[in-house]
């Protein structure tokens, strides 16, 4: 590995962590000496990388620091291309279109020697089995998740009984044949999972979640080991 590649890897490792990472942990992941890590961090700081911390405590990369896409290595390009191709097969057409556009943008900024790698990769996305049609447009659900806003839904259970719910949508899980929406349900006063093909109506509201979505996500992940459906 060249020094420039190692410096980029060091930035990527720091970017994955929100809390300080000890130098010895960085050295182990990069497979270099602790002295090399400290020297590389000094070099990055000298070039403007917003790294805080010190030896013995750890280092953290402040939010907002970005690298141009042309720095993607071969495996990262493979991951992006394959992931984009899989999303492009989604029944959520706006999301599928966004995946195709993102793939085109990535290819456009790659160096010349990698410009056609997205076309020549030996990684393909297989056709998916028939999917249960969604009862509402997923774009509205994704919008509510991003905006952290409550929505009203009319939901039909496995027996076809319908109930009106005001929920706080926090995550969508895409399975081969269906999608599950994780949300806090005000009716049940608990986290619930809703199949999107059973949501027969959805109305947006201007009400924001009383908690930030990342807090709700953490609580949901801690409480739910096996998804429960209504």
- Which range, of 25-34, 47-56, 111-120, 195-204, averages the lowest pLDDT? 111-120
User: Whole-structure pTM over 0.75, yes or no?
Assistant: no
The DSSP-derived string for the chain is: --HHHHHHHHHHHHHH-SS-B-HHHHHHHHTS-HHHHHHHHHHHHHTT--EEEETTTEEEEPTT----GGG--HHHHHHHHHHHHHHHT-S-HHHHHHHHHHHHHHHHHS-GGGTTHHHH-S--PPPPPP-PPPSS-HHHHHHHHHHTEEEEEEEE-TT--EEEEEEEEEEEEE-SS-EEEEEEETTTTEEEEEEGGGEEEEEEEEEEPSS-HHHHHHHHHHH-SS--B-
**What pLDDT, in 10s, does the model give residues 189-199?**
999 999 999 99
| In the predicted structure, residue 110 carries a pLDDT above the cut 80 | no
């Amino acid at each position: 590995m060249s020094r420039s590649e190692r410096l980029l890897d060091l930035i990527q490792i720091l970017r994955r962590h929100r809390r300080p990472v000890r130098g010895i942990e960085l050295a182990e992941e990069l497979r270099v000496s602790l002295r090399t890590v400290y020297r590389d961090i000094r070099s990055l700081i000298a070039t403007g990388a917003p790294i805080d911390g010190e030896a013995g405590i750890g280092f953290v990369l402040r939010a907002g620091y970005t690298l141009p896409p042309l720095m993607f290595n071969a495996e990262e390009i493979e991951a992006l291309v394959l992931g984009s191709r899989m999303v492009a097969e989604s029944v959520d057409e706006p999301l599928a279109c966004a995946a195709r556009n993102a793939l085109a943008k990535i290819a456009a900024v790659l160096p010349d020697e990698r410009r056609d790698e997205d076309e020549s990769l030996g990684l393909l996305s297989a056709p998916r089995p028939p999917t249960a049609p969604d009862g509402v447009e997923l774009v509205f659900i994704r919008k509510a998740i991003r905006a952290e806003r409550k929505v009203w839904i009319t939901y039909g259970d496995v027996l076809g009984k319908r109930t009106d719910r005001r929920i706080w949508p926090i995550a969508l899980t895409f399975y081969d044949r269906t999608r599950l929406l994780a949300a806090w349900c005000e009716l049940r006063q608990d986290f619930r999972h809703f199949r999107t093909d059973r949501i027969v109506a959805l109305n947006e509201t201007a009400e924001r979640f009383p908690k930030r979505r990342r807090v709700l996500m953490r609580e949901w992940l801690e409480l739910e080991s096996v998804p429960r459906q209504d």
